[in-house]
Chain A
Amino acid sequence: DTGVSQNPRHKITKRGQNVTFRCDPISEHNRLYWYRQTLGQGPEFLTYFQNEAQLEKSRLLSDRFSAERPKGSFSTLEIQRTEQGDSAMYLCASRSGSDTQYFGPGTRLTVL
């Protein structure tokens, strides 16, 4: 399968713990996006990478959130000191030069 992959698919954690999610984009897609989706809502933009450069961060991305794409391939999203309000589906998408973004299956985070 050459689509976008995300790991883990589900994560349950206790409030205050740190969590890290991984996204592997479609090979050779140099642009990578993170979105967050809560129940009943559409995805909200979090951050955007072009190659290894993080070009934009949403105001939704508080200081507890950090994203990296060290070699311009896979990306990680870390949430420190998780809160119950962080419970959501975290979606990754990638694209090449075309405008179409291809989404992964998401990581569902539950903070107890």
Chain B
Amino acid sequence: SQQGEEDPQALSIQEGENATMNCSYKTSINNLQWYRQNSGRGLVHLILIRSNEREKHSGRLRVTLDTSKKSSSLLITASRAADTASYFCAPVNDYKLSFGAGTTVTVRA
């Protein structure tokens, strides 16, 4: 299965701190995407990183990709209460997104 597996399952941090979550996958990929989901809502696309890229930034988000280790990480800097959500990685080697169970991030005020 190409399913992404996020780690940790849950993360609780203080507002202003950084949050880091990791994603591992099993086979080769074309790209890997990160999504955020607020409770009971649809998924919001955060960032896409291609297999030939090693790092990508978008605002307070930083994503890395290590294809030799088949892993990716998402860093959220200077977290805010509004960052409280579940975060999913989705490795892609055809056209399907294959999600894991996600990392639930709680940002405490």
A interface residues, Cβ below 8 angstroms from B: 4, 31, 33, 35, 40-45, 48, 56, 89, 91, 93, 99-106, 108
Number of chain B residues whose Cβ lies closer than 8 Å to a Cβ of chain A? 23
B42 at the A/B interface (Cβ < 8 Å)?
Answer: yes
| Majority SS at the chain B contact face | loop
From B30, B42, B95, contact of A31 by CB (8 A): B95
State in angstroms the CA–CA spacing of A8 and B40 once bound together: 14
CB neighbours of A45 from chain B (8 A):
96-98
| Majority SS at the chain A contact face | strand
Whether A43 lies near B33 (C-beta < 8 A) is: no
CB neighbours of B98 from chain A (8 A):
45
Whether B99 lies near A42 (C-beta < 8 A) is: yes
From B30, B40, B43, B92, contact of A43 by CB (8 A): B43
Closest to A6 in B: B42
CB neighbours of B41 from chain A (8 A):
105-106
